[in-house]
Structure 1
């Protein structure tokens, strides 16, 4: 009877954990979906028609900076990292480069919404593993493997086919999105080099607290040169506070959802969930926004999707192997300690 009760409690715990994981995934997909569609709505000339991606990014960063400062310094909901402490030198050496890359990544990604459909942008984002792997090798954070190279080539081939079949192909928009992917991939690699390797752990609130002001500074110069003169010429425009406020709030909530998803599950789970989100966005773009999605588009993305799925599978197997080795090493260490204790007891007995 006792075993059955224990088994029932264990099964309930497992079910609860699985349901929570699905809830985290659903929240992240919903918020990511909302932010992408909302940004497209604001920036697209055929919708809200406010084609100022730098300004929109600066609105997001200003909102996140203010809210991050309130939560960290005002309400003290979270504490800044103390081991090691975030000194000025560490901030300049580690956070500033990441902030600069994040600023340009967001700028170019938002700019692409003006020229490309939501569905095609999601297809181009499938190149992210290719960019991360290539930059990882460049910075010697990853090792070259022929099998992985072939996998990256298959993803690239699929995206190339999708681009060939794109009905609204715009070369400038494609260049902007590819630049956004390159900057984001570099940022992800530098996070490993500049933060993770130094033992610095930032949650989304402290990340926004440190990174958002930095992004704002790096966006200020291009904003003054590119968008400010145009905004002055269109002084009749009065931004809708509700639209920009809720849009910024969604962007902030998305950062919290990323932390929740990765912290409670894994980064790999987010990658897999991202594939589901991409298919949902493609379907939404075709059925609701009425973007043209061709058969060649879908064939190309299906090839890229299979490549990304295989990439995630290989990463999952590598993580499982690493965890297994870690457990074996812990077991060996425990056995060695136990043997040492037994030898010590025998030695004490012989002396007595």
Structure 2
């Protein structure tokens, strides 16, 4: 029998809850660290290394190398047998191209906007995913859902109106990053998930990071390489860039642990906690200015995102109940067929 605590809850349940909280804490810490670290490296008022494409290339090269070692040397994970050259070109390459653009623009935004305001703009992700899903016919238009999307957009618009350091270039870069990331998420469903292919963070990095690296080389060659040559006297700190790359790779592992050991819903809730922590950190430590309109606008957007996640959760529960009911009907039908056959034999 399972031991029970004073409150009547079994020790195994408590252990599972504590482990879940542990995975959540690791993911929040690493995600928090990567965002603040990137801001520190790219911001002109901090480390002042204004080369977002170069930083993304370093991350992708490091992640590609470690993913290759993990799969081919230590053999932690097996590659999906269904992946072939045609599927890679038709499915993985478009996803890698969108991922490279998303990372490039999101990292570039750190040079112009505060950490807190970037997190507020990221609240538009459900709006972008839903809108692009409708375009690709992966989502069905629903007036109540669209009203919810409008409320999120309205909240972000208020936050933007109240932003003390509003920068058109930075906002444009971040909105473009959201659009590319949303398109990437929708294409993952269309090009991979619908074909029964699921990639964990290690295999995702193994396939996506190299082609992402290749796509980034082209703009890097024309945009940043000439500037890097003119700044040849600059000596990058290997400790800073090394630890920053390790954090980026570890974050992908943390995503795998969090979703694999808990659920995607847990990650969404943890993401909300992380956003509020980043806003508080940006205000208290980095000393970014956060106005009352910022908080009011983000509060409206936050409520809209929370309602959207709740609606998605309820829809998933209904689907699961329908599947269970269908399975029970099929099992009952199989039993009836078996009984009929046995009666006929008698």
Give TM-score, length-normalised by structure 2.
0.96
- State the alpha-carbon separation in 2 of the partners of residues 13 and 329 from structure 1: 32
- Residue in 1 that maps onto 2:94: 97
The residue aligned with 1:337 is 334
Which position in structure 1 is the counterpart of 2:296?
A: 299
Query: What does 1:137-286 align with in structure 2 at a 5 Å threshold?
Result: 137-286=134-283
Q: What is the deviation of 1:335?
A: 1.8
Other-structure match for 1:38 = 37
How far apart, in 2, do the equivalents of 1:25 and 1:336 lie? 43
Decide whether the 8 Å contact of 2:62 with 2:245 is kept in 1.
yes
Structure 1: distance between partners of 2:277 and 2:225: 36
Which 5+ residue runs of structure 2 have no aligned equivalent?
none
User: Which stretches in structure 1 are left out of the alignment for 5+ residues?
Assistant: none
Find the aligned partners of 2:237 and 2:129 in 1 and give their Cα distance: 37
Q: Is the 8 A contact 2:2 2:11 kept in 1?
A: no
Q: Partner of 2:279: helix, strand, or coil? A: helix
| 1:24 aligned counterpart, secondary structure | helix
Q: Classify the secondary structure of the residue corresponding to 2:27.
A: helix
Q: 1:90 offset after TM fit, Å?
A: 0.9
| 3-state SS of 2:106 partner | helix
What are the superposed Cα offsets for residues 28-69 of structure 1, whole Å, 9 maximum, x if unpaired? Answer: 111100000000000011111101000000000000111111
Counterparts of 1:145 and 1:7, CA distance in 2:
48
Distance in 1, matches of 2:3 and 2:244, equals 46
State the shift of 1:7 in Å. 7.6
- Distance in 1 separating the partners of 2:33 and 2:200: 22
Deviation of residue 330 (structure 1)? Answer: 1.7
Q: Which secondary structure does the structure 2 equivalent of 1:80 belong to?
A: coil
Pairwise CA distance, 1:19: 1.9
Match of 1:15 in 2: 14
- Per the normalisation by structure 1, the TM-score is 0.95
Selected match of 1:119 from 116, 124, 127? 116
Q: Distance in 2 between matches of 1:25 and 1:339?
A: 47
Corresponding residue SS for 1:289? coil
CA distance in 1: counterparts of 2:3 and 2:65, whole angstroms: 48
Q: Distance in 1 between matches of 2:143 and 2:10?
A: 42
Distance 2:11 2:309 in 1: 29
Instruction: Report how far residue 153 of structure 1 moved.
Output: 0.1
Query: 1:166-216 CA deviation, whole Å, 9 max, x = no partner?
Result: 000000000000000000000000000000011112111111011101011
- Secondary structure in 1 aligned to 2:140? coil
Q: Distance in 2 between matches of 1:98 and 1:163?
A: 30
SS at match of 1:346: helix
Which region of structure 1 is more displaced relative to structure 2, 133-142 or 24-33?
Answer: 24-33
TM-superposed CA distance for 1:285, in Å, is 0.3
Per the TM alignment, residue 27 of structure 1 is displaced from its structure 2 partner at its CA by 1.1
Which stretch of structure 1 is more off in the superposition, 159-168 or 66-75?
Answer: 66-75
Residue 162 of structure 2 contacts residue 294 of structure 2 at CA under 8 Å; is this kept in 1? Answer: yes
RMSD: 1.3
**Pairing 1:310–2:307 present:** yes
